[in-house]
Homo-oligomer: A and B are copies of this chain.
Amino acid sequence: MRLPVLIALTVIIITSTIFYRLESSTSSKKRDYVLVIHGGAGFVANTEDKEKIEAVTNGIRAALELGNEMLKNGAKSIDVIEAVITILENDSTFNSGRGAVLSMTKEAELDASIMDGSNLNAGAVGNVRIVKNPIKAARSVMDKTNHVLLVGEGAEQFAISQNLDIVENSYFVTQQNLNEWEQRAKLEKGGTVGAVAMDKYGNLAAGTSTGGMMRKMHGRIGDSPIIGAGTYANNNSCAISATGWGEKYIKNAAAFNVHALMTYKNLSLNDAMKEVMYKILDPKDGGMIAIDKNGNYSLIFTTQAMSRGIATSDGIFEIKIWE
Protein backbone atom coordinates (compact mmCIF):
# COMPACT_ATOMS: atom_id res chain seq x y z
CA MET A 1 0.00 0.00 0.00
CA ARG A 2 1.17 3.49 -0.70
CA LEU A 3 1.83 5.85 2.17
CA PRO A 4 -1.21 8.16 1.72
CA VAL A 5 -3.51 5.13 1.76
CA LEU A 6 -1.86 3.81 4.92
CA ILE A 7 -2.19 7.18 6.60
CA ALA A 8 -5.84 7.43 5.60
CA LEU A 9 -6.56 3.95 6.93
CA THR A 10 -4.80 4.72 10.19
CA VAL A 11 -6.85 7.86 10.61
CA ILE A 12 -10.06 5.93 9.98
CA ILE A 13 -9.08 3.26 12.49
CA ILE A 14 -8.15 5.81 15.13
CA THR A 15 -11.29 7.87 14.70
CA SER A 16 -13.52 4.82 14.77
CA THR A 17 -12.01 3.51 17.99
CA ILE A 18 -14.38 3.58 20.92
CA PHE A 19 -13.10 6.00 23.46
CA TYR A 20 -13.77 5.55 27.12
CA ARG A 21 -12.47 8.06 29.53
CA LEU A 22 -13.22 8.39 33.22
CA GLU A 23 -11.57 11.00 35.35
CA SER A 24 -12.37 11.30 38.99
CA SER A 25 -11.10 12.31 42.34
CA THR A 26 -12.17 11.19 45.74
CA SER A 27 -10.81 13.22 48.62
CA SER A 28 -10.52 11.83 52.15
CA LYS A 29 -11.14 15.29 53.58
CA LYS A 30 -14.40 16.78 52.33
CA ARG A 31 -13.64 19.72 50.09
CA ASP A 32 -15.00 23.19 50.83
CA TYR A 33 -16.17 23.62 47.27
CA VAL A 34 -15.92 22.02 43.86
CA LEU A 35 -16.74 23.24 40.36
CA VAL A 36 -16.72 21.13 37.21
CA ILE A 37 -17.51 22.49 33.75
CA HIS A 38 -17.90 20.87 30.35
CA GLY A 39 -17.85 22.43 26.91
CA GLY A 40 -19.43 19.44 25.21
CA ALA A 41 -18.52 15.91 24.22
CA GLY A 42 -17.87 14.99 20.63
CA PHE A 43 -15.19 14.66 18.05
CA VAL A 44 -12.43 17.23 18.27
CA ALA A 45 -9.46 16.16 16.20
CA ASN A 46 -6.22 16.40 18.10
CA THR A 47 -4.84 17.90 14.94
CA GLU A 48 -7.50 20.59 14.65
CA ASP A 49 -6.28 24.12 14.21
CA LYS A 50 -4.59 25.53 17.26
CA GLU A 51 -6.83 28.56 17.18
CA LYS A 52 -9.91 26.45 17.92
CA ILE A 53 -8.18 24.54 20.70
CA GLU A 54 -6.99 27.78 22.23
CA ALA A 55 -10.48 29.26 22.06
CA VAL A 56 -11.98 26.25 23.81
CA THR A 57 -9.30 26.30 26.49
CA ASN A 58 -9.64 30.03 27.06
CA GLY A 59 -13.41 29.79 27.25
CA ILE A 60 -13.34 27.03 29.85
CA ARG A 61 -10.64 28.89 31.78
CA ALA A 62 -12.60 32.15 31.94
CA ALA A 63 -15.67 30.34 33.25
CA LEU A 64 -13.63 28.27 35.68
CA GLU A 65 -11.80 31.30 37.07
CA LEU A 66 -14.99 33.22 37.67
CA GLY A 67 -16.72 30.25 39.29
CA ASN A 68 -13.71 29.41 41.43
CA GLU A 69 -13.50 32.98 42.68
CA MET A 70 -17.22 33.09 43.44
CA LEU A 71 -17.17 29.81 45.35
CA LYS A 72 -14.06 30.88 47.28
CA ASN A 73 -15.93 34.01 48.31
CA GLY A 74 -18.89 32.04 49.55
CA ALA A 75 -21.27 32.29 46.61
CA LYS A 76 -24.11 29.80 46.41
CA SER A 77 -23.69 26.95 43.93
CA ILE A 78 -26.88 27.85 42.08
CA ASP A 79 -25.56 31.38 41.44
CA VAL A 80 -22.21 30.01 40.30
CA ILE A 81 -23.90 27.68 37.81
CA GLU A 82 -25.84 30.59 36.31
CA ALA A 83 -22.78 32.85 36.11
CA VAL A 84 -20.46 30.22 34.67
CA ILE A 85 -22.89 29.10 31.99
CA THR A 86 -23.62 32.71 31.09
CA ILE A 87 -19.92 33.15 30.27
CA LEU A 88 -19.94 30.08 28.05
CA GLU A 89 -23.17 31.16 26.34
CA ASN A 90 -21.57 34.49 25.50
CA ASP A 91 -18.53 32.73 24.00
CA SER A 92 -19.13 31.81 20.36
CA THR A 93 -16.71 28.89 20.68
CA PHE A 94 -19.38 26.69 22.23
CA ASN A 95 -22.70 25.31 21.03
CA SER A 96 -24.82 27.39 23.39
CA GLY A 97 -26.03 30.97 23.22
CA ARG A 98 -23.85 32.79 20.68
CA GLY A 99 -22.26 30.17 18.44
CA ALA A 100 -25.13 27.70 18.74
CA VAL A 101 -25.62 25.31 15.85
CA LEU A 102 -28.46 25.96 13.43
CA SER A 103 -31.68 24.04 13.04
CA MET A 104 -33.19 22.98 9.70
CA THR A 105 -34.71 26.45 9.42
CA LYS A 106 -31.19 27.90 9.76
CA GLU A 107 -31.94 29.46 13.11
CA ALA A 108 -30.50 29.04 16.58
CA GLU A 109 -33.10 27.34 18.80
CA LEU A 110 -31.80 27.26 22.34
CA ASP A 111 -32.44 25.04 25.36
CA ALA A 112 -31.22 25.36 28.95
CA SER A 113 -31.96 24.16 32.45
CA ILE A 114 -30.81 24.67 36.01
CA MET A 115 -31.50 22.77 39.23
CA ASP A 116 -30.89 23.44 42.90
CA GLY A 117 -30.05 20.23 44.77
CA SER A 118 -30.92 21.71 48.15
CA ASN A 119 -34.64 21.86 47.43
CA LEU A 120 -35.09 20.24 43.99
CA ASN A 121 -36.21 23.57 42.57
CA ALA A 122 -35.64 23.65 38.84
CA GLY A 123 -36.22 25.83 35.82
CA ALA A 124 -35.78 25.34 32.10
CA VAL A 125 -36.50 26.88 28.73
CA GLY A 126 -36.71 25.16 25.37
CA ASN A 127 -36.67 26.36 21.81
CA VAL A 128 -36.02 30.04 22.55
CA ARG A 129 -34.68 32.17 19.72
CA ILE A 130 -34.25 35.69 21.04
CA VAL A 131 -33.14 35.28 24.65
CA LYS A 132 -29.45 36.19 24.88
CA ASN A 133 -28.80 33.93 27.87
CA PRO A 134 -31.14 30.94 28.06
CA ILE A 135 -29.62 29.91 31.41
CA LYS A 136 -30.84 33.19 32.94
CA ALA A 137 -34.30 32.52 31.56
CA ALA A 138 -34.18 29.04 33.07
CA ARG A 139 -33.18 30.55 36.41
CA SER A 140 -36.08 33.00 36.17
CA VAL A 141 -38.54 30.19 35.43
CA MET A 142 -37.27 28.52 38.60
CA ASP A 143 -37.43 31.63 40.75
CA LYS A 144 -40.42 33.50 39.40
CA THR A 145 -42.97 30.94 38.21
CA ASN A 146 -44.68 27.84 39.55
CA HIS A 147 -43.55 25.98 36.45
CA VAL A 148 -40.39 24.09 35.52
CA LEU A 149 -40.30 24.28 31.72
CA LEU A 150 -41.43 27.01 29.35
CA VAL A 151 -40.90 26.71 25.61
CA GLY A 152 -41.00 28.80 22.46
CA GLU A 153 -42.90 32.03 22.23
CA GLY A 154 -44.26 31.71 25.78
CA ALA A 155 -40.75 31.35 27.18
CA GLU A 156 -39.62 34.35 25.13
CA GLN A 157 -42.50 36.51 26.32
CA PHE A 158 -41.67 35.52 29.88
CA ALA A 159 -37.99 36.45 29.36
CA ILE A 160 -39.07 39.86 28.04
CA SER A 161 -41.32 40.34 31.08
CA GLN A 162 -38.30 39.62 33.30
CA ASN A 163 -36.22 42.27 31.52
CA LEU A 164 -33.67 39.72 30.37
CA ASP A 165 -31.44 40.72 27.44
CA ILE A 166 -33.22 40.17 24.13
CA VAL A 167 -31.37 39.86 20.82
CA GLU A 168 -32.09 39.13 17.17
CA ASN A 169 -31.63 35.50 16.26
CA SER A 170 -28.75 36.57 14.02
CA TYR A 171 -26.77 37.45 17.16
CA PHE A 172 -26.33 33.73 17.81
CA VAL A 173 -25.30 32.84 14.26
CA THR A 174 -21.63 32.56 13.38
CA GLN A 175 -20.18 32.31 9.89
CA GLN A 176 -18.63 28.99 10.80
CA ASN A 177 -21.98 27.50 11.77
CA LEU A 178 -23.55 28.85 8.59
CA ASN A 179 -20.78 27.17 6.60
CA GLU A 180 -21.20 23.90 8.45
CA TRP A 181 -24.95 24.07 7.96
CA GLU A 182 -24.43 24.48 4.21
CA GLN A 183 -21.94 21.62 4.17
CA ARG A 184 -24.47 19.42 5.99
CA ALA A 185 -21.87 18.90 8.68
CA LYS A 186 -22.19 16.03 11.10
CA LEU A 187 -25.50 16.23 12.96
CA GLU A 188 -23.96 15.58 16.35
CA LYS A 189 -21.62 18.52 16.60
CA GLY A 190 -20.54 18.85 20.24
CA GLY A 191 -20.23 22.00 22.25
CA THR A 192 -23.16 21.85 24.67
CA VAL A 193 -22.04 23.49 27.89
CA GLY A 194 -22.76 22.52 31.45
CA ALA A 195 -21.59 22.95 35.00
CA VAL A 196 -21.98 21.30 38.38
CA ALA A 197 -20.96 22.84 41.68
CA MET A 198 -20.83 22.21 45.40
CA ASP A 199 -20.59 25.35 47.50
CA LYS A 200 -19.22 25.96 51.02
CA TYR A 201 -22.63 25.20 52.47
CA GLY A 202 -22.61 21.74 50.92
CA ASN A 203 -25.33 22.55 48.42
CA LEU A 204 -25.19 20.98 44.98
CA ALA A 205 -26.44 22.58 41.77
CA ALA A 206 -26.30 21.77 38.07
CA GLY A 207 -27.05 23.47 34.76
CA THR A 208 -26.83 22.81 31.04
CA SER A 209 -27.24 24.98 27.93
CA THR A 210 -27.19 24.10 24.25
CA GLY A 211 -28.12 24.84 20.68
CA GLY A 212 -28.81 21.13 20.21
CA MET A 213 -27.93 19.23 17.06
CA MET A 214 -26.93 20.83 13.76
CA ARG A 215 -29.86 20.62 11.30
CA LYS A 216 -32.23 19.42 14.02
CA MET A 217 -35.91 19.80 13.15
CA HIS A 218 -37.53 23.11 13.98
CA GLY A 219 -39.00 22.77 17.47
CA ARG A 220 -36.82 19.84 18.52
CA ILE A 221 -35.92 19.71 22.17
CA GLY A 222 -33.12 17.50 23.43
CA ASP A 223 -32.08 16.43 26.91
CA SER A 224 -30.51 19.72 28.01
CA PRO A 225 -33.71 21.42 29.20
CA ILE A 226 -35.19 18.20 30.56
CA ILE A 227 -34.71 17.86 34.29
CA GLY A 228 -33.75 14.22 34.85
CA ALA A 229 -32.32 13.74 31.35
CA GLY A 230 -29.62 16.40 30.81
CA THR A 231 -29.53 17.99 34.26
CA TYR A 232 -30.15 16.79 37.80
CA ALA A 233 -29.15 17.89 41.29
CA ASN A 234 -30.05 16.46 44.67
CA ASN A 235 -28.11 17.18 47.86
CA ASN A 236 -28.69 13.57 48.92
CA SER A 237 -26.77 12.16 45.98
CA CYS A 238 -25.14 14.27 43.29
CA ALA A 239 -25.30 17.05 40.70
CA ILE A 240 -25.03 16.13 37.03
CA SER A 241 -24.82 17.80 33.62
CA ALA A 242 -24.84 15.72 30.45
CA THR A 243 -23.78 16.28 26.86
CA GLY A 244 -24.31 14.05 23.88
CA TRP A 245 -27.02 12.41 21.83
CA GLY A 246 -29.97 14.03 23.60
CA GLU A 247 -32.69 11.63 22.53
CA LYS A 248 -30.89 8.69 24.11
CA TYR A 249 -30.32 10.63 27.32
CA ILE A 250 -34.06 11.35 27.47
CA LYS A 251 -35.13 7.74 26.89
CA ASN A 252 -32.82 6.60 29.67
CA ALA A 253 -33.38 9.55 32.03
CA ALA A 254 -29.59 9.63 32.10
CA ALA A 255 -28.94 12.28 34.75
CA PHE A 256 -31.64 11.04 37.10
CA ASN A 257 -30.43 7.49 36.44
CA VAL A 258 -27.10 8.30 38.09
CA HIS A 259 -29.00 9.60 41.14
CA ALA A 260 -31.18 6.46 41.13
CA LEU A 261 -28.20 4.09 40.96
CA MET A 262 -26.55 5.89 43.88
CA THR A 263 -29.73 6.09 45.91
CA TYR A 264 -31.30 2.70 45.23
CA LYS A 265 -28.25 0.54 44.55
CA ASN A 266 -25.76 2.32 46.81
CA LEU A 267 -23.29 2.73 43.97
CA SER A 268 -20.53 5.30 44.27
CA LEU A 269 -20.73 8.30 41.95
CA ASN A 270 -18.03 6.76 39.74
CA ASP A 271 -19.73 3.40 39.49
CA ALA A 272 -23.10 5.01 38.79
CA MET A 273 -21.59 7.15 36.03
CA LYS A 274 -19.88 4.11 34.50
CA GLU A 275 -23.09 2.09 34.63
CA VAL A 276 -25.02 4.78 32.75
CA MET A 277 -22.35 5.68 30.18
CA TYR A 278 -20.87 2.22 29.54
CA LYS A 279 -23.85 -0.10 30.00
CA ILE A 280 -27.11 1.80 29.63
CA LEU A 281 -26.01 4.24 26.93
CA ASP A 282 -23.96 3.17 23.93
CA PRO A 283 -20.37 3.94 22.95
CA LYS A 284 -19.93 7.45 21.49
CA ASP A 285 -23.22 8.69 22.92
CA GLY A 286 -21.51 11.51 24.84
CA GLY A 287 -20.40 12.37 28.34
CA MET A 288 -21.41 13.59 31.78
CA ILE A 289 -19.87 15.54 34.62
CA ALA A 290 -20.90 15.19 38.25
CA ILE A 291 -20.12 15.96 41.87
CA ASP A 292 -21.38 13.87 44.77
CA LYS A 293 -22.51 15.17 48.14
CA ASN A 294 -19.04 14.60 49.59
CA GLY A 295 -17.36 16.78 47.01
CA ASN A 296 -15.98 13.94 44.93
CA TYR A 297 -16.14 14.65 41.22
CA SER A 298 -16.40 12.42 38.20
CA LEU A 299 -16.13 13.19 34.50
CA ILE A 300 -16.83 10.57 31.90
CA PHE A 301 -17.16 10.44 28.12
CA THR A 302 -17.32 7.80 25.42
CA THR A 303 -16.61 10.21 22.57
CA GLN A 304 -13.18 11.13 21.34
CA ALA A 305 -13.06 14.30 23.38
CA MET A 306 -14.87 16.36 25.98
CA SER A 307 -13.60 19.82 26.80
CA ARG A 308 -13.76 20.31 30.54
CA GLY A 309 -12.45 22.09 33.58
CA ILE A 310 -12.17 21.37 37.28
CA ALA A 311 -11.57 23.78 40.17
CA THR A 312 -11.60 22.80 43.83
CA SER A 313 -10.97 24.39 47.21
CA ASP A 314 -7.91 22.16 47.67
CA GLY A 315 -6.21 23.76 44.70
CA ILE A 316 -7.05 21.61 41.70
CA PHE A 317 -7.41 23.79 38.61
CA GLU A 318 -7.37 21.76 35.41
CA ILE A 319 -8.49 22.21 31.83
CA LYS A 320 -8.51 19.34 29.35
CA ILE A 321 -9.97 18.34 26.00
CA TRP A 322 -8.79 14.78 25.37
CA GLU A 323 -7.03 12.47 27.84
Using a CB–CB distance below 8 Å, which chain A residues touch chain B? 103, 109, 115, 120-122, 126-127, 145-158, 216-222, 226-229, 232, 246-247, 250-253, 256-257, 260-261, 264-265
Contact = CB atoms under 8 A, between A and B. Distances in A.
Contacts of A232: 253
A220 B115 CA distance: 17
Contact of A252 (B120, B153, B156, B226): B120
15 contacts: A120-B251, A120-B252, A122-B250, A127-B152, A148-B250, A149-B226, A149-B250, A150-B221, A151-B221, A153-B153, A153-B219, A155-B219, A158-B217, A228-B253, A264-B264
A220 B149 contact: yes
A258 to B, nearest CB: 11
A150 B220 contact: yes
A153 B218 contact: yes
A269 to B, nearest CB: 15
A154 B127 CA distance: 9
Consensus secondary structure, chain A interface: mixed
A126 B221 contact: yes
A156 B145 CA distance: 26
Contacts of A219: 150-158
A227 B254 CA distance: 11
A157 B121 CA distance: 33
Nearest to A228: B253
A319 B216 CA distance: 43
A232 B253 CA distance: 10
A257 B257 CA distance: 9
Contacts of A252: 120
Nearest to A187: B146
A151 B122 contact: no
Given A256-B256, A260-B264, A151 B150 contact: no
Contacts of A227: 229, 250-251, 253
Nearest to A104: B154
B147 A220 contact: yes
